[in-house]
Amino acid sequence: MKKVVFLASVLFLMSCGGESKDAHNDAKHEEHTEAPAKHEEAKHEEHAEEAPVVEEDVVEEEVVTEFSGDENLGETLFADKGCVACHAVDKKVVGPSLQDIAAGYDGDGAKIVSFLKEESDAIIDPEQFAVMQANLAMTKEMADSDLNAIAAYILKQKQ
């Protein structure tokens, strides 16, 4: 909300500062030559500006950024790193199935990567987090491109 108020203030100041003296004088001259009804309307507008400002709640939309990763590399890494010991494509083994993970993250590979970096909480089968935590030490050290590939492979399993 502070950002919106700040941005509005900056835009207001920028729009007011660009007027030349001649334009300002012309505006003053027009103000004095207006009909009385117009002048009365301007007075009401001045008082309206002095009214207390009611802040509105601004709902920020969640932005999902573009996500891409090499699904084939992800499948290889998933097997080579031992993830298959706890995760199967279509059934729960120790951890949730890849289909459940893909459905739970609803196509947002960046959130999967965030979890694998241990930057966010588990949203799928959180009671198994203690088992997965030892493996997160390994995934935290992986390159972003490798994590993106694993996430792409997982998302590919969504039904």
Q: Which residues of the chain have pLDDT under 70?
A: 1-67
pLDDT at 21: 44
CA atoms within 13 A on the CB side of 46: 6
Rounded-to-integer distance, Cα 51 and Cα 35, Å = 25
pLDDT at 145: 95
Ordered structural domains, the chain, with CATH: 2-49 (no CATH), 71-156 (1.10.760.10)
pLDDT digits (tens, 9 = 90+) for 82-100: 999 999 999 999 999 999 9
pLDDT at 146: 96
pTM for the whole structure: 0.58
Long-range contacts for 136-145 (Cβ within 8 Å, ≥24 apart)?
138/81, 139/81, 140/116, 142/77, 142/116, 144/113, 145/69, 145/70
Rounded-to-integer distance, Cα 63 and Cα 83, Å = 29
